[in-house]
Structure 1
């Protein structure tokens, strides 16, 4: 990966790290907070017949994790094109 300047390389990695940290924050909120810490209040809500806290702990966090993978791929492709380091 060849950047035209150090400034472009720093901007690229800054954007990359910002994206990764924001996606990790979403995953933390969904898996840890919704699935463990806030499970009791969320269990008062029903989702397709299941308690919402239980659903997040068993299935929801997995679905969100897979969705975050696709979001990451999509966003990184656009960032790669923006900085002209995309694959052909």
Structure 2
């Protein structure tokens, strides 16, 4: 039983680490690229739109959706690693 608790602590530690990394990526894209670096990125245009504007309006949303799929993938791998069964 004690071994099971240790395994679950490792599982949740890895889970929290994954969440923090993914949220950090989202923060960098949405706040960093969309607000802090908007002016330098506006020198680049994609499809007629300034890149800073694109990150502020669309980039953070696309990044968030992609990160959801990455999270699902990573959690499925983590569940397999720690043999966590759905109940």
TM-score where L is the length of structure 1: 0.90
- Specify the alignment match of 1:79 in structure 2: 78
1:1-16 alignment, distance < 5 Å: 5-16=4-15
Alignment coverage as a number of residue pairs: 87
Alpha-carbon distance, 1:81 to partner: 1.0
CA deviation map 1:35-78 (0-9, x unaligned): 01110001011122211000000111100000000000111011
- Specify the alignment match of 2:56 in structure 1: 57
Q: Write 1 or 2 for the structure with the bigger share of helix.
A: 2
Find runs of 4+ consecutive structure 1 residues off by over 2 angstroms: none
Structure 2 residue runs of 5 or longer lacking an equivalent are none
1:9-48 alignment, distance < 5 Å: 9-48=8-47
